[in-house]
């Protein structure tokens, strides 16, 4: 029962931090220091990734009309604009997919530590503030998903790749910053980031399951199921809040939060590690 309660807590943290640009990895590392799951190291690595599928399902449900390319009403037809959007998503996912498949273990070994996570939290926090200050006197050039070009999608994909290499960067944080630098509105930047997460998270989860297999205990699978369900419910709430918030506010508060969290994580591990 204690492990189930821990899984609930991890699901809550995942559901919040996966969509806010504040790094789910940084929060999971910090939480695990205080509330470590009593599971095997192999299962923990799978849990960190696969629990995100619950969060992804929230995006699929909330944005179904914007991502499902078929109209099945009286006169069924293909929605060409949504098909075009998915091709752009694929283009944006290629850099992270290729590098992730080839070098995922190497990057984890090199950069999955509290120092790199803390530095990434702080640097991208500062970047959020700088970018938002720069954009204060300008209006966004891209206010519709259909206005995104394949070139811009590819550039956003490179930003996503940076997040894949350096834990603590935040996948959503990196892609949103890349989008803002190209004049994409906050709302469209967030939506495109959410849609990018669908193939990325499914792909990463599949790779982890292929690597470690399914030979875990019933208790461990129960923990994973609970974490995914909680992450889904919390994600629905957080995504709705986040989209409403950025229609009226900028991202600077998340930048300041990242800086404070990065300093706290770095200080904690330097003192107690």
pTM for the full predicted model: 0.90
State the pLDDT at residue 77: 82
State the pLDDT at residue 157: 94
Q: pLDDT-derived band of residue 220, with 50, 70 and 90 as boundaries?
A: confident
Q: pLDDT-derived band of residue 109, with 50, 70 and 90 as boundaries?
A: confident
State the pLDDT at residue 87: 96
Q: pLDDT-derived band of residue 224, with 50, 70 and 90 as boundaries?
A: very high
Checking if the pLDDT of 32 tops 90, the result is no
CA distances from 104 to 36, 41, 91, 163, 168 (A): 24, 17, 20, 12, 15
Checking if the pLDDT of 129 tops 90, the result is yes
* Mean pLDDT, residues 24-50: 83
Tell me the percentage of the chain whose pLDDT exceeds 90.
56
State the pLDDT at residue 241: 96
* 134-166 per-position pLDDT tens digit: 998 889 999 999 999 999 999 999 999 998 888
- Residue-range definition of the domain harbouring residue 202: 2-272
State the pLDDT at residue 132: 96
The structural domain count of the chain equals 1
Return mean pLDDT, the chain. 90
* 168-211 per-position pLDDT tens digit: 888 899 999 999 999 999 999 999 999 999 998 888 888 778 87
Checking if the pLDDT of 29 tops 80, the result is no
CA distances from 219 to 1, 3, 36, 38, 40 (A): 10, 9, 15, 10, 11
DSSP 118-160: HHHHHHHHHHHHHHHHHHTTS--SB-SGGG--HHHHHHHHHHH
């Amino acid at each position: 029962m204690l492990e189930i309660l821990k899984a609930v807590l991890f699901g809550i943290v995942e559901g919040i931090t996966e969509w806010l640009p504040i790094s789910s990895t940084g929060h999971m590392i910090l939480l695990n220091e205080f509330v470590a799951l009593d599971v095997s190291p192999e299962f923990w690595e799978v849990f960190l990734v696969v629990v995100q599928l619950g969060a992804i399902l929230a995006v699929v449900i909330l944005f179904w009309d914007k991502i499902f390319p078929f109209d099945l009403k009286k006169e069924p037809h293909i929605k060409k604009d949504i098909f075009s959007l998915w091709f752009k998503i694929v283009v944006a996912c290629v850099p992270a997919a290729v590098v992730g498949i080839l070098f995922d273990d190497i990057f984890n070994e090199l950069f999955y530590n509290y120092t790199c996570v803390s530095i990434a939290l702080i640097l991208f926090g500062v970047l959020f503030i700088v970018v938002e200050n720069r954009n204060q006197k300008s209006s966004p050039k891209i206010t519709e998903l259909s206005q995104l070009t394949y070139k811009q999608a590819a550039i956003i994909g490179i930003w996503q790749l940076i997040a894949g290499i350096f834990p603590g960067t935040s996948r959503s944080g990196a892609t949103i910053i890349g989008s803002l630098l190209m004049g994409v509105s906050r709302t469209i930047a967030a939506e495109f980031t959410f849609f990018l997460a669908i193939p990325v998270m499914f792909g990463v989860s599949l790779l982890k399951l292929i690597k470690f297999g399914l030979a875990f205990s019933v208790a461990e699978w129960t923990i994973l199921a609970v974490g995914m369900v909680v992450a889904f419910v919390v994600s629905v709430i957080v995504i709705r809040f986040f989209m409403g918030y950025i229609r009226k506010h900028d991202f600077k508060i998340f930048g300041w939060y990242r800086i404070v969290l990065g300093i706290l994580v770095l200080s904690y591990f330097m003192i107690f590690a």
